[in-house]
Structure 1
């Protein structure tokens, strides 16, 4: 329970179960399979023209409606949330003649960020970080098709980083309304890439808190937390790495990126590199926390050993004195056999000597700075 609390405290990424995404060996390529426990499918459309202020925003129930809108409007953005309706997704692929392998990748949620050119359309995969209902954060696969004046984004769950883009389209602000599908694709990918920065900033704050917790109370559960942080930062770095490669391949494709928007794509590419550097820096910092934890545990143990050693040292001469006077020598046989035992003040004198010895050693330890800092 304590370990789970620590994982939630530091807002760690949640992994996607692998058994739900992998394709069995020998299966025919291009087969679209349902995703277990997929969310209900909802299709929303935003259509707009470059020279008009009017914009259409509606929920559609069939792909045929989208095809009709694509013939009427200058740019159409179809956003599909949820992968439960396999028939609708299959119909989308057939209606717009998307490649079977690209359609298969839409339903296989283990894809790395990539861009694939299929002559008349481009298929792009990105990984979007966002908060899950459990209060954690997860990397969601977002598939994107770009064909002529049509952009299609396919998400696993509700909630994304596109709300500000929708607001800009509604208000007619910026250059989105005056450009085509290629620039809209850039804006969507840029929003996805930039959504990593708040997550990494939260990691930076969490690393500070973890360092304080390790120094103040180095518990065994912190080792699991450190390992999880390292793993998730590596996941983010890996995603940023492939995103950088994907953007690099798009920048080399002169048929996809226009000259007017090339600088914007390069800026997005630079952001991906920044994310890689931040994730790697934080991962190295998390790796150093293992040594910090071991040092803190060792220091705590040494402090305990120091206290025990001081007590043992103080009682050593006292035990020595008690041992001497615990010997049963008969003083009637010889006058040298502990004659002080016959002294009336022998016992209180011995106690006084023992107290003085203990106080003297304590004073010596304080002068040396071993205690009482």
Structure 2
């Protein structure tokens, strides 16, 4: 169980308050009412209010957190969600004023990396990735597991919505709270940077681990035993395509962030440029892996063709040898009364000796020419 389990699963105080408010919201529109069972599930992972780079003590439900942040100038809310339902996301949207199109994207989690603006709220979509360990690469092995991360960035809040098990956010929150308070003072965009940085760092880890599998495949293809079947090469290429879909499209949103003026704080743009450099490195690695896999695949196909040609040459060679015996058998199998050597005492052993000599000579000639 990851640290991004819902608060309801942990049985924490926040889960009780938020579950009660969620039931009130679903039953009474925008009005929250407490009550009901404390075990109602919720997608809220953590919800905190931050002021001057420090977390405000106490636990808050999402609506309470926004009210608390509104009372303090420069304060903001960081709300973390994991795979929210339509109803949960709709309630969050009403509280924080999120656009319905962005909310729909956050629930379905089937988006390409992008950056959109809805009024004062920016919506950043990332695709997460993690390497799946495996003892042996087969034609059905999963090498890369992908998910999605959506980030809503407003003036007084940042909402992270995660789908999948990759790129857990608890270490990011802990690092910002304990080690990088100065960065956290920059506000919601600092959180967006930290989340993006972790996602891209995972890209680098996946690329390095993927290279190890690629080396094994390359070694297997070009070894004497040729232990890597073409199905394994094709499966690895499929996994690389999935990884590429997560990495390459992110270049445009990051370029938009680093070139923005007045929206993203200048200091944060410097940090995003560092993330962009890491992403560029990963894109170059993925492109080189793709080229190498194409070369390996073509080489393996060429090897298969050569092996098939060699098999056909061997079959043709043995067929040629067998043809000699077939020809003599066909001639002497004719029903004629008068044929040479048919009544000769040594005719049969002489014919067998002659055929054996022809067979040996033909075999040596074919072997010398590489057909056998």
Secondary structure class of the residue paired with 2:342:
helix
Q: In the alignment, is the contact (CA less than 8 A) between 1:80 and 1:154 conserved in 2?
A: yes
User: Which of 40, 43, 54 pairs up with 1:41?
Assistant: 43
Deviation at 1:123, TM superposition (A): 2.0
Structural mapping, 1:138-157, within 5 Å: 138-157=145-164
1:356 and 2:357 matched: yes
Q: In the alignment, is the contact (CA less than 8 A) between 2:149 and 2:162 conserved in 1?
A: yes
1:64 and 2:63 matched: yes
Structural mapping, 1:8-47, within 5 Å: 41-47=43-49
Q: What residue number does 2:92 align with?
A: 92
**Cα distance in 2 between the residues matched to 1:348 and 1:258:** 101
Deviation at 1:203, TM superposition (A): 4.0
Q: In the alignment, is the contact (CA less than 8 A) between 1:115 and 1:246 conserved in 2?
A: yes
Instruction: Please list every run of 5 or more consecutive structure 1 residues that lacks an aligned counterpart in the other structure.
Output: 1-38, 332-336
Q: In the alignment, is the contact (CA less than 8 A) between 2:144 and 2:243 conserved in 1?
A: no
Q: In the alignment, is the contact (CA less than 8 A) between 1:161 and 1:192 conserved in 2?
A: no
Q: What residue number does 1:367 align with?
A: 368
Structural mapping, 1:255-334, within 5 Å: 255-288=262-295, 291-331=298-338
Q: What residue number does 1:123 align with?
A: 123
Deviation at 1:80, TM superposition (A): 0.7
- For the structure 1 residues 306 and 369, does the alpha-carbon distance in structure 2 shift closer, same or farther, using more than 3 Å as the test? closer
RMSD value over aligned CA atoms?
3.7
**Cα distance in 1 between the residues matched to 2:42 and 2:250:** 28
Q: Can you list the C-alpha shifts for 1:274-295, whole angstroms capped at 9, x where unaligned? A: 3333333333444445544542
Structural mapping, 1:54-203, within 5 Å: 62-70=61-69, 71=71, 74=75, 76-84=77-85, 86-118=86-118, 120-130=120-130, 137-169=144-176, 171-172=178-179, 176-177=183-184, 179-203=186-210
Q: What residue number does 2:7 align with?
A: none
**Cα distance in 1 between the residues matched to 2:118 and 2:321:** 83
Q: Can you list the C-alpha shifts for 1:224-258, whole angstroms capped at 9, x where unaligned? A: x73x6556544543443431111111122222332
Q: What residue number does 2:27 align with?
A: none
Name whichever of 178-187 and 69-78 sits farther off: 69-78
Q: Can you list the C-alpha shifts for 1:279-332, whole angstroms capped at 9, x where unaligned? A: 33333444445544542332232122112111112223233333343344435x
**Cα distance in 2 between the residues matched to 1:328 and 1:57:** 110
Q: In the alignment, is the contact (CA less than 8 A) between 1:218 and 1:297 conserved in 2?
A: no
Deviation at 1:188, TM superposition (A): 0.7
Deviation at 1:56, TM superposition (A): 5.4
Q: What residue number does 2:11 align with?
A: none
- For the structure 1 residues 115 and 218, does the alpha-carbon distance in structure 2 shift closer, same or farther, using more than 3 Å as the test? closer
Q: Can you list the C-alpha shifts for 1:319-347, whole angstroms capped at 9, x where unaligned? A: 3333343344435xxxxx41x33333322
Q: In the alignment, is the contact (CA less than 8 A) between 1:63 and 1:91 conserved in 2?
A: no
Q: In the alignment, is the contact (CA less than 8 A) between 1:42 and 1:82 conserved in 2?
A: no
Q: In the alignment, is the contact (CA less than 8 A) between 1:55 and 1:170 conserved in 2?
A: no
Instruction: Figure out how many residues of one structure are paired with residues of the other and give that number.
Output: 320
**Cα distance in 1 between the residues matched to 2:263 and 2:202:** 24
